[in-house]
């Protein structure tokens, strides 16, 4: 994302219930409690579901992704995710 572009000027690209895959390793940046700074939280290829959408520094969306197999929730940016399947929420918004 170019530094002058505000992601929040556009709607989120993922929606609640979307099934997504991690495309870059997610490490603790100091915001995940109980884990060491730099510790790997989620590996590439792991699959989860969007459970909420927030914002970061009034510039970008943060997608809360629930990883069922590890039973954790991690905040991810759009460039860390790849859509696998649209959730039911997306279909109900289209009507």
* The dihedral sign for the CA sequence 58, 10, 3, 50: positive
- 1 lies in some domain: no
Q: What is the pLDDT of residues 1-33, one digit of tens each?
A: 445 568 888 999 999 999 999 999 999 999 889
- 27 lies in some domain: yes
- 4 lies in some domain: no
What rounded mean pLDDT belongs to the chain?
88
Q: What is the pTM of this model?
A: 0.83
Nearest to 89 by CA among 52, 47, 56, 60: 52
* Residue 89 binned pLDDT confidence (cut-offs 50, 70, 90): low
- 11 lies in some domain: no
Q: Token digits for 72? A: 């954790």
- 95 lies in some domain: no
Kind and range of the H or E run holding 89: helix 88-93
The mean per-residue pLDDT over the stretch 60-78 comes to 94
List of residues 6+ apart from 35 with CB closer than 8 A:
28, 41
What's the number of domains the chain is made of?
1
The mean per-residue pLDDT over the stretch 56-70 comes to 92
- 28 lies in some domain: yes
79 SS3 class:
helix
Q: Note the pLDDT of residue 1.
A: 44
Please answer whether residues 75 and 64 qualify as being in contact, where contact means their C-beta atoms are separated by less than 8 angstroms. yes
Question: Domain range for residue 50?
Answer: 18-83
d(C-alpha 8, C-alpha 53), whole Å: 12
């Amino acid at each position: 994302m170019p530094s002058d572009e505000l992601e929040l000027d556009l709607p989120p690209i993922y929606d609640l219930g979307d099934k997504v895959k991690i495309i870059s390793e997610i490490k603790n940046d100091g915001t995940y409690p109980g884990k060491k700074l730099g510790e790997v939280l989620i590996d590439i290829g792991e699959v989860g579901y969007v459970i909420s959408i927030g914002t970061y520094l009034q510039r970008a969306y943060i997608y809360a992704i629930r990883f069922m197999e590890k039973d954790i929730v991690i905040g991810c940016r759009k460039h860390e995710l790849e859509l696998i399947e649209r959730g039911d929420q997306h279909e109900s918004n289209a009507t």
